[in-house]
Structures are given as structure tokens and as C-alpha cells.
Amino acid sequence: QQQVKQSPQSLIVQKGGISIINCAYENTAFDYFPWYQQFPGKGPALLIAIRPDVSEKKEGRFTISFNKSAKQFSLHIMDSQPGDSATYFCAASKNRDQTGANNLFFGTGTRLTVIP
């Protein structure tokens, strides 16, 4: 069962436009929501992350919007650039269990293409 659902699967945006990727979750125990950027043949790199105590977090051109009641969060990329073309994954993790494990549950990924 997919614990974090992500959409769309692929996205094409014109240079300068806004890219929006959405994720939804069911488990209310999740308390950490990161977004990762992955280029082909490379490992994921953390882009930005948010915790449920805030509804929005902005870092440069990247913004996470978080809706706790709807159990949804989204990534907005402002002024999208061709260099932003990559696959983006949302993820979630919950409070550590007794073993201290902090497993990340990943969304299915969104392939973003920014057209010059």
C-alpha cells in the first residue's frame, strides 16, 4: 500500500512558470515531510522539508504548502528553469519507534520538464 500518494506523474512547464506537485498521506503519525530532487543516474538530494507545526515554508524559489487537516502537502517551484528538470519525490516519516527507526515513505515521483 502506497503510504504517500503523489501527482502528477509527469509535468511540463514553460521557463518562468510555476511548477506544482502534490502529495497526500493517510497516516497522522507522520511528522516530517521532505521533498527530494533526483537527476538521472544520481541519488536523491534534499530540497526542502516541513513539519506539521507550520503551514508554509519557503526557501528561495521553492515553497512547501502544508494542509494538516486535509493531510496534503505540495511543492511549488517559482520561476521554473530548465535546470530544474528532474524527478521530484515527496516523502514522509513518523515519530521514531522503539528501535529508533525513522523510515522514509516515498511518493511515486514526478518527472518535471521545464521547456526553454
Site for other proteins in 49-108 (CB under 8 A): 49, 89, 93, 96, 99-104, 106-108
Integer CA distances (angstroms), 22 to 88, 90, 96, 98, 115, in order: 11, 8, 25, 31, 20
Q: How many CB atoms lie within 10 A of CB 42?
A: 10
30 makes contact with other proteins (CB under 8 A): no
CB of 50 to other proteins, least distance (A): 11
When asked if residue 25 is in the footprint of other proteins (CB under 8 A), the reply is no
φ/ψ region of 79 (left if φ > 0, alpha if ψ in -120 to 50, else beta) reads: left
Cell of residue 80, nine digits: 521554473
Tell me the C-alpha distance between 93 and 31, whole Å: 6
Least Cβ distance, residue 41 to other proteins (angstroms): 7
Give the binding range for other proteins (CB under 8 A) out of 16-24, 39-47, 60-68, 69-77: 39-47
What residues make contact with other proteins under the rule CB under 8 A?
A: 32, 34, 36, 41-46, 49, 89, 93, 96, 99-104, 106-109, 111
